[in-house]
Chain A
Amino acid sequence: MPFIPHTEDDVKSMLQTIGVDSIEQLFDEIPAELRIDELVGVPDALCEMEITRLMRARSRQDGTPQCFIGAGAYEHHVPSAVWDIATRGEFYSAYTPYQAEASQGTLQVIYEYQSMITALTALDVSNASLYDGASALAEAALMSVRANRKVKTSRVLLAAGVNPTYEKVAHAISGNQGLVFDRLPLDRHTGTTDLAALATYDQEVVALVIQQPSFFGTLEPIDRLTDWAHQRAALVIAVVNPTSLAILKAPGHWGADGADIACGEGQPLGIPLSSGGPYFGFMACEKSLVRQMPGRIVGRTTDLEDKPGFTLTLQAREQHIRRSKATSNICTNQGLMVTGATIYMSLLGQEGLARVAQRSQQNTAQLAAKLTSIKGVTRLFDGPHFHEVALGLDRPVGPVLRALAGQEILGGFDLSASHPELGNALLVCATETKTADDLERYRRALSDILSASRK
């Protein structure tokens, strides 16, 4: 029993205090016919040395290939200090800060985090996190239905560049409450929303979701889309990459009045890729919408002696108070990831984060230039991009990616499954972690693979 400290004497005297003869007797309220004696299917215990050996082997099995995949999760340099500090026991093994006086560390971190998210998004308030970017969009869509009293529909419209998985997740989470999702068509030249379609779109919608940069890495005409939605009394939900906000226009400044809600995947802010999680969803909104927001919020207040301090606030929105009328069922969120992200944003600062954004954008541009110099590789879309670019290949993408993986290069995300209408399409990403040598290595490998199979 690896983590149980009881000695035989402890057990004896504790049973005596309770007044029973055996531990078994403590389970006498469970109907006998339901009891089991053994757990078949759980292996024998391993000591730390043995499990370490096993996990090292598993880790080695997965290797450390060079990764040019983005599509919603991005490899960035993570300073050592981030997880050194975030995994200190005082952060790592604390619960939700319900006892505020004994949780000022966590609460202040969240307040600083909320401040940073509002700065990045140029909106008034931020919550303390949601599960991830995709589920954050589901919550934002539900929030827009609660908040927008001007229209009587649960139809949410998506700009062409919204991540297709986000749409699936938003549907799975909110569909039972009657939300339906509709999508604007893609302009096949620019890789952004087809503005011509706006003129003929005649459905009433509760909100328009705009992802910037789009799933294809292109830049949506955010100002025009925002103003168009507002003219139709729809709210605007911005799905944004937080790294990009160091240089790209903040949602609060989109169009004439700004987006109403911003949300997205917080992973780029110092969170390891880790097979998809734990990451965190962030959400910010205008102050008039704060009472419709899901999730925890930390506020600054004062104590009995008028000293400043932090506490969870506006809890009347939440499930533990409002139960079936809460804004969401979320309870446990992604607190530790927010701690990591706050340390990351402090270390990078405004200058550092802008450099990460610019360097990633530039590396991706250089990679696209190199790869499109190969015969049979073209750019799918004109126009500006952030740190991802969609490429067309002259043959199916799957086998090419497998051949690259054989050389320890993960060449990108195969768009042909999610977007068959684009043909043999590949989405590539090169963040600040890639050097000129890395880009050249990819070019050479792809060139060899394409020309070898052409022969």
Chain B
Amino acid sequence: MPEKLIFEKSRPGRRAYAQAPALATATDIPAEFLRQDRPMLPEVSELQVVRHYTRLSQLNFSIDTNFYPLGSCTMKYNPRACNALAMLPGLLNRHPLGPVSHGQGFLACMYELQEMLKAVTGMRAVSLTPMAGAQGELAGVAMIRAYHVSRGDHERNEIIVPDAAHGTNPATATMCGCIVRELATGADGDVDIEALKQAVGPKTAGIMLTNPSTLGVFERRIIEIRRIVNDAGGLLYYDGANLNAILGKVRPGDMEFDVIHMNLHKTFSTPHGGGGPGSGAVGVGKRLRPFLPIPVVGRSDTDGSYHWLTEKDLPQSIGRLSGFMGNAGVLLRAYVYMRMVGRDGMRRIGEFATLNANYLQSRLRAAGFELAFPERRASHEFIITLKTMARTLHVTAMDVAKALLDEGLHAPTTYFPLLVPECLLIEPTETETREALDRFADAMIAIAERAKSDPASVQGAPYKMPVRRLDDVKAARNLDLAWRPEPRPEL
């Protein structure tokens, strides 16, 4: 292992003396409530901690250090100012239950963020509380259900989900007590309209659509889809994870969708932090407005001051999804980002994300890579399939992904969407230079050549990472999920 565990650096009696308060006098809590042992936290010095975690950080790829074209994840530059300004003391130390008299600065940012998100999506109202895309989805589907129930329409519990959809879509429908009806994709990458006509009916609660879809193409028959679903009495959910592609060009509200979730940690550049936090703010149209999750920030007509809208103001709300108001610090970063980008910049994001994707697609196509949808424009991302390489040379998409790591390039998304065999979903984002795209294309070309001349060398990649390929089967079979002083427990 390149770096020992922090526990293995621990020595009894050592500690970071500057960080803990002086000893309090003995507690008056009766023994029946106290623990008899000391929890096994490491005993290390401050320098040991700083060095340990700094060194661990250096084992990661990140946007700040590597090209990271992970499809569907929008790994664009996360401006440093967003972080620095969200951590100003008045904002960073504000208690969530503090009075609005000591929160007007923060609430002003949140109110203006709601307004800007309304503007870019064309929706009527926005709630910022969902803490990631999946929670935004949960809010959206719960609102759709609440809408039907409020009309006495208790039978509508089917959610239509295209087979290309992200896994969170069907999982969310289940969490909302709905039944998933999966919808096939046509050969051109658009939803199969005939299949949709078959799928809708009196039990249809709604459809969850991602647009541009996770296949990297814009759903061209969007108006027809809306009509079919609406005619059947269903509502329309817009998975806005790919909003980056269409910023300033077309708005889900103008497509008359009822609800959208946005991944602020994609489109509005808040950091992914190695897995989170995110924010899945939701926007709604007229029909779902009464059901928005709370709290929402309101502004007084008389004096312009800001306040919370709660159960009292939105009695039909689906309720609260977090202990307070969601990932406020993430929302602040998105706010700063949107203010820095501004109106014109917003449109250019969609344009240059699309330019970069189409350029890279053209370069790879010219080099002989097979596109999943060769007749289509790329949106902000596109898919290549390595099925021929896998069949003839036994070099898979996973092998190519690992070989890219050795070139200092993060791999694209692999094996998603599930319906395209041996696929790489490639999303360069607008913040990358043409040189970075060329480097990636050149590396792909070199790896493809190597797959022909020396397939074993690609199958064995990576070689230059801190570890070689890891044994996932062993990880799942001999579960080792937490360190224990020897002997380790058998799970």
- Residues in A whose Cβ lies below 8 Å from that of B443: none
**Chain A nearest CB, measured from B299 CB (Å):** 15
Q: Flag if B343 contacts A307 (CB, 8 Å).
A: no
Give how many A-B residue pairs fall within 8 Å (CB-CB).
711
Q: Flag if A134 contacts B323 (CB, 8 Å).
A: yes
- Per-residue contact bits, chain B 341-358, to A (CB 8 Å; 1 contact, 0 not): 111111111011011101
Check if B304 is an interface residue, CB within 8 A of chain A. Answer: no
Q: Would A126 and B346 be within 8 Å (CB), given that A62-B105, A249-B35, A318-B167 are in contact?
A: no
Q: Flag if B93 contacts A348 (CB, 8 Å).
A: no
Q: Flag if A352 contacts B329 (CB, 8 Å).
A: no
Check if B150 is an interface residue, CB within 8 A of chain A. Answer: no
- Per-residue contact bits, chain A 266-285, to B (CB 8 Å; 1 contact, 0 not): 00000011111111100000
Check if A11 is an interface residue, CB within 8 A of chain B. Answer: yes
Check if A443 is an interface residue, CB within 8 A of chain B. Answer: no
**CB proximity to B under 8 Å, residues A316-360:** 316, 318-326, 328-339, 342-343, 345-356, 358-359
- Residues in B whose Cβ lies below 8 Å from that of A101: 402, 405, 462, 465-470
Contact of A402 among B75, B101, B108, B277 (CB under 8 A): B101
Q: Flag if A278 contacts B63 (CB, 8 Å).
A: no
Q: Flag if B40 contacts A48 (CB, 8 Å).
A: no
- Per-residue contact bits, chain B 453-472, to A (CB 8 Å; 1 contact, 0 not): 00000001010011111111
Q: Flag if B354 contacts A356 (CB, 8 Å).
A: no
Q: Flag if A274 contacts B468 (CB, 8 Å).
A: no
Q: Flag if B377 contacts A29 (CB, 8 Å).
A: yes
- Residues in A whose Cβ lies below 8 Å from that of B278: 332
Q: Flag if A89 contacts B321 (CB, 8 Å).
A: no
Check if A454 is an interface residue, CB within 8 A of chain B. Answer: no
- Residues in B whose Cβ lies below 8 Å from that of A38: 248, 343, 347
Q: Flag if B109 contacts A58 (CB, 8 Å).
A: yes
- Residues in B whose Cβ lies below 8 Å from that of A31: 220, 222-223
Q: Would A165 and B323 be within 8 Å (CB), given that A35-B250, A172-B293 are in contact?
A: yes
Contact of A92 among B83, B91, B137 (CB under 8 A): B83
**CB proximity to A under 8 Å, residues B294-338:** 318-330, 336, 338
Q: Flag if A102 contacts B480 (CB, 8 Å).
A: no
Q: Flag if A64 contacts B89 (CB, 8 Å).
A: yes
Check if A425 is an interface residue, CB within 8 A of chain B. Answer: no
Q: Flag if B27 contacts A247 (CB, 8 Å).
A: yes
A343 to B43 alpha-carbon distance, docked (Å): 12
Check if A173 is an interface residue, CB within 8 A of chain B. Answer: yes
- Residues in A whose Cβ lies below 8 Å from that of B44: 346, 349
- Per-residue contact bits, chain A 296-326, to B (CB 8 Å; 1 contact, 0 not): 1111111111011111011010111111111
Q: Flag if B405 contacts A99 (CB, 8 Å).
A: yes
Q: Flag if B176 contacts A176 (CB, 8 Å).
A: yes
- Per-residue contact bits, chain B 3-20, to A (CB 8 Å; 1 contact, 0 not): 101110000000110111
Check if B447 is an interface residue, CB within 8 A of chain A. Answer: no
With a 10 A CB-CB cut-off, give which of B318, B320, B480 has the most chain A CB atoms.
B320
A96 to B73 alpha-carbon distance, docked (Å): 10
With a 10 A CB-CB cut-off, give which of B70, B174, B351, B470 has the most chain A CB atoms.
B470
Q: Flag if A42 contacts B120 (CB, 8 Å).
A: yes
Q: Flag if A2 contacts B341 (CB, 8 Å).
A: yes
Contact of A51 among B50, B85, B99, B173 (CB under 8 A): B85
Contact of B62 among A46, A92, A328 (CB under 8 A): A92
Q: Flag if A115 contacts B7 (CB, 8 Å).
A: yes
- Which residue of chain B lies nearest to A113 when distances are taken between CB atoms in the complex? B482
- Residues in A whose Cβ lies below 8 Å from that of B135: 131, 135, 330
Q: Would A62 and B323 be within 8 Å (CB), given that A249-B35, A330-B132 are in contact?
A: no
Contact of A248 among B34, B41, B220, B222 (CB under 8 A): B34
Check if B217 is an interface residue, CB within 8 A of chain A. Answer: yes
A114 to B480 alpha-carbon distance, docked (Å): 11
Contact of B275 among A55, A57, A97, A323 (CB under 8 A): A97
Of the stretches A71-79, A203-211, A226-234, A371-379, the one at the interface is A71-79
A359 to B27 alpha-carbon distance, docked (Å): 9
Q: Would A273 and B95 be within 8 Å (CB), given that A30-B249, A124-B489, A287-B491 are in contact?
A: yes
Q: Flag if B249 contacts A112 (CB, 8 Å).
A: no
Q: Would A349 and B220 be within 8 Å (CB), given that A135-B321, A324-B170 are in contact?
A: no
Q: Flag if B402 contacts A105 (CB, 8 Å).
A: no
Q: Flag if A90 contacts B19 (CB, 8 Å).
A: no
A303 to B338 alpha-carbon distance, docked (Å): 43
A299 to B145 alpha-carbon distance, docked (Å): 38
Q: Would A89 and B481 be within 8 Å (CB), given that A104-B59, A346-B49, A358-B27 are in contact?
A: no
Check if B168 is an interface residue, CB within 8 A of chain A. Answer: yes
Check if A405 is an interface residue, CB within 8 A of chain B. Answer: yes
Q: Flag if B52 contacts A96 (CB, 8 Å).
A: no
Q: Flag if A328 contacts B171 (CB, 8 Å).
A: yes
Q: Flag if A36 contacts B249 (CB, 8 Å).
A: yes
Q: Flag if A75 contacts B271 (CB, 8 Å).
A: no
- Per-residue contact bits, chain B 230-267, to A (CB 8 Å; 1 contact, 0 not): 00000000000000001011110011000000010100
A87 to B78 alpha-carbon distance, docked (Å): 11
Q: Would A304 and B351 be within 8 Å (CB), given that A6-B434, A135-B321, A319-B171 are in contact?
A: no
**Chain B nearest CB, measured from A21 CB (Å):** 13
Contact of A129 among B66, B86, B276 (CB under 8 A): B276
A14 to B433 alpha-carbon distance, docked (Å): 11
- Per-residue contact bits, chain B 27-38, to A (CB 8 Å; 1 contact, 0 not): 111101111101
Contact of B22 among A73, A219, A246, A355 (CB under 8 A): A355
- Residues in A whose Cβ lies below 8 Å from that of B29: 219, 247-248, 361, 384, 386
Q: Flag if B167 contacts A311 (CB, 8 Å).
A: no
Check if B195 is an interface residue, CB within 8 A of chain A. Answer: no
**Chain A nearest CB, measured from B415 CB (Å):** 9
With a 10 A CB-CB cut-off, give which of B274, B319, B326 has the most chain A CB atoms.
B274
Q: Flag if A304 contacts B468 (CB, 8 Å).
A: yes
**CB proximity to A under 8 Å, residues B93-148:** 93-99, 101-106, 108-109, 115-116, 118-120, 131-135, 137-138, 142, 145
Check if B475 is an interface residue, CB within 8 A of chain A. Answer: yes
Check if A196 is an interface residue, CB within 8 A of chain B. Answer: no
Contact of A321 among B167, B319, B479 (CB under 8 A): B167
**CB proximity to A under 8 Å, residues B156-172:** 166-168, 170-172
A44 to B345 alpha-carbon distance, docked (Å): 9
**Chain A nearest CB, measured from B238 CB (Å):** 13
Check if B289 is an interface residue, CB within 8 A of chain A. Answer: no
- Residues in B whose Cβ lies below 8 Å from that of A365: 28
Q: Would A347 and B49 be within 8 Å (CB), given that A106-B274, A168-B319 are in contact?
A: yes
Q: Flag if A359 contacts B434 (CB, 8 Å).
A: no
A355 to B447 alpha-carbon distance, docked (Å): 56
Contact of B58 among A64, A86, A105 (CB under 8 A): A105
19 more contacts with CB within 8 A, not counting A176-B175, A248-B33, are A5-B433, A11-B355, A14-B434, A18-B361, A44-B343, A44-B344, A92-B64, A92-B271, A93-B78, A119-B482, A128-B275, A222-B33, A277-B326, A311-B470, A313-B476, A334-B131, A351-B15, A355-B21, A405-B99
**20 A-B contacts (beta carbon < 8 Å):** A31-B220, A58-B109, A81-B49, A92-B273, A102-B60, A102-B465, A108-B59, A276-B96, A277-B322, A278-B329, A278-B330, A299-B481, A311-B472, A314-B476, A322-B171, A329-B174, A332-B276, A333-B276, A343-B53, A350-B41
Q: Which 7 A-B pairs have the closest CB atoms?
A: A45-B342, A276-B324, A336-B273, A89-B64, A335-B275, A41-B119, A276-B96
